[in-house]
């Protein structure tokens, strides 16, 4: 399992690093309003991808048996529905742009509909590879796709494509993914139109779909509400801050959740509850150890970084990043609840948990609109922290993971980060300039966390070694 986690996390570190570097570069070639066009369009693209998937890709990974014909039937059904939905999106793009009075939105949205079909075509073959725990292959494909698409975006930016450089990125990355996954998984898939075969997949997948749609609604509502109420420039600022907030989810939690669900699903038949809980606590502990210090650093480090390295037109993002980084840290742990529940077959409970989370988020944004962009984010942060605690308590109870074990798993990262913030803020008060304050604060923060982790080294080592030992037994786990 450790090798799979490292493969997916390493892939996402490189992927997210390239994407973020590309985004920083594009701030010099595009204004916030242009970013806003793409940011506003992506929720529509993502919604169709989730709707079309019908939860079948997760069901394909989780179910005990899956033959070539079952996989082929599921893939053709997904692609057929996806093509229809993409056509509908392209048709409504112009009227939508006119209704919202966003110049250029129609053409951007219509072009991105192409990426919808390609993204959907990649879902099934990738799920087949994940089912066989071939995460190193998946990681390789994702890295190649991002490298090719980032190079395309950079070339387009220097050729003067403007916002179309970003659009090209999203289209090209899906072209590479769809082609590569289809070729690699071809021996495990027999395409056919016997859609009656997918009934059992749809039964489980329906609850997954409902949960995914609700989670998506909770994440996408910000773009839509801010864009409609405040304008493209505001949604551009929020969109970039949101990309920073979800970096730990993209790099660690989302790929880690896939590995965790696949491993726990294979482990369920023969593994003990104690072994299961050790796996979960190990993943949570190591995730927190990396994410908490990195994200909460932005609560004091973002000011200087964005002032020094970003164009002046983007300075409005600084307070957003400081607040949203805290939410990102909390969500990096909460997002594992889905894998924990689904691996136990509790798809209905996952749906209700997602319902509560999404409704809370939507209500927070609706209430916050009257207080401006900063007010929205403050309310969103408060709701996120409350919902995160409640979600993990429910998940812990339902999966028979002792709350004390959960607290112990998160303790090293939480204590180290809090001490680091205290040390950083103390030394920054003694600095004469913003640059010296940033340097002193960063140094104190890093040293404090390093010393704290040395004190917690036994617990962190147990988490790491536990996942390594599971890797040594992967043949037994995969065979169940």
More confident residue, 84 or 267: 84
Task: Match 């087949």 to its residue by tokens.
Answer: 128
210, pLDDT greater than 70: no
Do 142 and 258 reside in the same domain of the chain?
A: no
Q: How far apart are CA 133 and CA 263, in angstroms?
A: 8
Q: At which of 182, 206, 230 does a domain end?
A: 206
pLDDT at position 4 is: 56
Which pLDDT band, with edges at 50, 70 and 90, does 474 fall under? Answer: very low
**In a domain? residue 212:** no
431, pLDDT greater than 90: no
Point out the least confidently predicted range of 91-95, 117-121, 448-452, 474-478.
474-478
For residue 308, with 0-12 CB atoms within 10 Å meaning exposed, 13-18 middle and 19 or more buried, which class applies? exposed
The whole-number average pLDDT for the span 276-305 is: 89
pLDDT at position 206 is: 56
Where does 16-160 show beta strands of DSSP type E? Answer: none
Report the half-sphere exposure of 48 (CA within 13 A, side-chain side). 27
Do 145 and 266 reside in the same domain of the chain?
A: no
Point out the least confidently predicted range of 90-104, 139-153, 320-334.
90-104
Q: At which of 178, 206, 234 does a domain end?
A: 206
Longest dimension (CA), the chain: 71
Do 151 and 13 reside in the same domain of the chain?
A: yes
124, pLDDT greater than 50: yes
Highest mean pLDDT among 90-104, 150-164, 406-420: 406-420
Point out the least confidently predicted range of 26-35, 43-52, 254-263, 444-453.
43-52
Do 75 and 188 reside in the same domain of the chain?
A: yes
Q: Which domain holds residue 182?
A: 1-206
231, pLDDT greater than 70: no
Do 190 and 80 reside in the same domain of the chain?
A: yes
Which pLDDT band, with edges at 50, 70 and 90, does 340 fall under? Answer: confident
Vertex 62: Cα angle to 462 and 79 (nearest 5)? 130
- What is the reported pTM? 0.61
**In a domain? residue 213:** no
**In a domain? residue 235:** no
pLDDT at position 237 is: 78
pLDDT at position 472 is: 39
Q: Which residues contact 190 (CB under 8 A, 6 or more apart)?
A: 68, 69, 71, 72
For the chain, give the mean pLDDT.
80
Highest mean pLDDT among 256-260, 304-308, 472-476: 304-308
CA dihedral 58, 60, 64, 68 (to 10 degrees): -170
67, pLDDT greater than 80: no
Which pLDDT band, with edges at 50, 70 and 90, does 227 fall under? Answer: low
For residue 191, with 0-12 CB atoms within 10 Å meaning exposed, 13-18 middle and 19 or more buried, which class applies? middle
Do 202 and 320 reside in the same domain of the chain?
A: no
CA dihedral 101, 84, 44, 112 (to 10 degrees): -80
Contact call for residues 59 and 205 (beta carbons, < 8 A) = yes
Point out the least confidently predicted range of 255-269, 278-292, 345-359, 420-434.
255-269
**In a domain? residue 167:** yes
**In a domain? residue 326:** yes
Percent residues over pLDDT 90 in the chain: 19
Do 13 and 157 reside in the same domain of the chain?
A: yes
Which parts of 101-134 fold into alpha helices (H)?
105-131
If phi > 0 it is left, if psi is from -120 to 50 it is alpha, else beta; for residue 65 that is beta
The whole-number average pLDDT for the span 213-231 is: 64
Do 45 and 161 reside in the same domain of the chain?
A: yes
443, pLDDT greater than 90: yes
Q: At which of 206, 234, 261 does a domain end?
A: 206
Do 142 and 21 reside in the same domain of the chain?
A: yes
**In a domain? residue 228:** no
Which pLDDT band, with edges at 50, 70 and 90, does 478 fall under? Answer: very low
Highest mean pLDDT among 95-104, 203-212, 364-373, 400-409: 400-409
Do 191 and 259 reside in the same domain of the chain?
A: no
Do 25 and 123 reside in the same domain of the chain?
A: yes
pLDDT at position 475 is: 42
Do 202 and 250 reside in the same domain of the chain?
A: no
Helix axes 105-131, 135-158, angle to 10 degrees: 160
What is the per-residue pLDDT across 168-184, written as a single tens digit (0 to 9) for each? Answer: 988 898 899 999 998 99
**In a domain? residue 294:** yes
Contact call for residues 24 and 165 (beta carbons, < 8 A) = no
Q: How many domains does the chain have?
A: 2
**In a domain? residue 215:** no
The whole-number average pLDDT for the span 421-439 is: 89
360, pLDDT greater than 80: yes
Six-digit token pair at 308? Answer: 């020094």
């Amino acid at each position: 399992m450790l090798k799979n986690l490292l493969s997916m996390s390493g892939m996402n570190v490189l992927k997210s690093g390239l994407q973020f570097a590309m985004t920083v570069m594009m701030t010099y070639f595009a204004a916030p309003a242009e970013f806003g066009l793409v940011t506003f369009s992506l929720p529509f693209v993502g919604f169709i991808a989730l709707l079309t998937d019908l939860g079948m890709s997760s069901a394909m990974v989780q179910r005990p048996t899956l033959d070539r014909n079952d996989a082929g039937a599921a893939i053709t059904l997904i692609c057929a529905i996806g093509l229809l939905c993409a056509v509908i999106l392209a048709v409504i793009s112009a009227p939508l742009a006119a209704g919202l009075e966003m110049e250029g939105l129609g053409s951007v949205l219509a072009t991105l509909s192409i990426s919808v079909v390609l993204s959907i075509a990649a879902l099934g073959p990738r799920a087949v590879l994940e089912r066989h725990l071939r995460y190193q292959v998946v990681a390789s494909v994702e890295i190649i796709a991002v490298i090719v698409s980032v190079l395309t975006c950079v070339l387009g930016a220097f050729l003067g494509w403007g916002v179309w450089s970003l659009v090209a990125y999203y289209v090209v990355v899906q072209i590479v993914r769809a082609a590569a996954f289809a070729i690699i998984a071809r021996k495990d898939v027999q395409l056919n139109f016997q859609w009656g075969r997918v009934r059992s997949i749809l039964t489980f997948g329906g609850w997954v779909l409902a949960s995914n749609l609700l989670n998506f609604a909770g994440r996408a509502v910000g773009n839509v509400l801010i864009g409609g109420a405040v304008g493209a420039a505001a949604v551009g600022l929020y969109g970039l801050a949101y990309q920073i907030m979800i970096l730990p989810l993209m790099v660690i939690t989302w790929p880690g959740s896939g590995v965790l669900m696949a491993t726990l699903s294979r482990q369920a038949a023969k593994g003990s509850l104690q072994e299961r809980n050790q796996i979960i606590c190990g993943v949570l502990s190591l995730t927190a150890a990396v994410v908490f210090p990195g994200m909460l650093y932005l609560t004091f480090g973002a000011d200087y970084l964005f002032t020094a390295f970003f164009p002046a037109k983007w300075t409005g993002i600084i307070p957003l990043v400081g607040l949203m980084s805290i939410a990102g840290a909390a969500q990096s742990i909460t997002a594992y609840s889905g894998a924990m529940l689904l691996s136990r077959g509790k798809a209905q409970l996952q749906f209700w948990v997602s319902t509560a989370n999404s409704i809370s988020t939507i209500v927070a944004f609706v209430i916050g609109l009257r207080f401006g962009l900063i007010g929205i984010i403050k309310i969103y942060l408060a709701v996120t922290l409350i919902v995160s605690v409640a979600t993990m308590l429910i998940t812990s109870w339902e999966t028979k993971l002792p709350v004390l074990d959960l607290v112990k798993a998160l303790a090293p990262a939480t204590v180290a980060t809090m001490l680091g913030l205290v040390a950083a803020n103390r030394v920054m008060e003694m600095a004469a300039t913003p640059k010296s304050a940033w340097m002193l604060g960063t140094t104190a923060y890093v040293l404090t966390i390093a010393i704290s982790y040395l004190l917690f080294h036994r617990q962190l080592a147990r988490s790491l070694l536990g996942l390594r030992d599971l890797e040594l037994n992967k043949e037994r786990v995969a065979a169940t």
